[in-house]
Amino acid sequence: MYTFMADSKTVSIFPSDEPGAPVVYLHTVSDEGQKIWQAAQDAGYPAFTLVAIHNLDWDHDMAPWDSPPIFKSAQPCTGGADDYLRLLTETIIPAVEKQLPEEPRWRGIAGYSLAGLFAVYAIYQTDVFSRVGSISGSLWFPGIKEYVVSHTIKRRPDCMYFSLGDKESKTRSPVLQTVQQNTQEIQAFYQAQGIDTIFQLNPGNHYNHAVERTAAGIGWLVSW
């Protein structure tokens, strides 16, 4: 593993031994990259390099636009995704791939929760990613479904992975109650465009088995 800092973000590279292996850029709430990498290795997925990025200003960097708190105790989202995406594409990705022996065959972007929302939003702003994983993605986010269907992606992805826990929409929050319907409708929209997509429903709520769910989503992307 190799770690460096980029504008206060911590970037950890878990390299593949295979030259030219694909790279998956994963945004994490905390430093769980090592556990996800290990889970993927234990599962025997095809070779890939994992780049795990944390120390994010989560409700800012991963949010495409401003949104009020969904609970009284929650923080508002302040849309900083465009600014962070510039850091990712102009600074982090070049620094990462300078460390690799060969250019990767393809790049993927994946994330859990708000980072799953960000992964979907990113392909409307940049053409550097060809595979997308939205694992328990925050596709309840106000306006995202309408944005997805009314804007044009910068590059048609090879494939897209979506998943949720089967209890995630069972909540008192009217906003969060939309997450499963939105996710399935977004997945169906991409499927209708001829993009290879999948939606997987896992047992549990939003906080159950996040490491295992994330590893499984990345595993699907690299096995496609």
Whether the CB-CB separation of 110 and 56 falls below 8 Å is answered with no
| Nearest alpha carbon to residue 76 among 61, 64, 66 | 66
Q: What is the pLDDT of residue 173?
A: 86
**188: enclosing H helix or E strand:** helix 179-192
pLDDT tens per residue across span 64-80: 999 999 888 889 999 99
Q: What is the pLDDT of residue 35?
A: 97
User: In the chain, what is the straight-line distance between the N-terminal and C-terminal CA atoms, in Å?
Assistant: 25
- What span, in angstroms and rounded, lies between the C-alpha atoms of 130 and 171? 33
pLDDT tens per residue across span 21-77: 999 999 999 989 999 999 999 999 999 999 999 999 999 999 999 999 988 888 999
| Nearest alpha carbon to residue 118 among 142, 143, 144 | 144
Mean residue pLDDT of the chain comes to: 96
Q: What is the pLDDT of residue 91?
A: 98
Sketch out the chain's domains with CATH numbers: 2-223 (3.40.50.1820)
Phi then psi for 192, rounded to 5 degrees?
A: -65, -20
For residue 19, the one-letter residue type is P
- What span, in angstroms and rounded, lies between the C-alpha atoms of 135 and 213? 7
pTM for the structure as a whole: 0.97
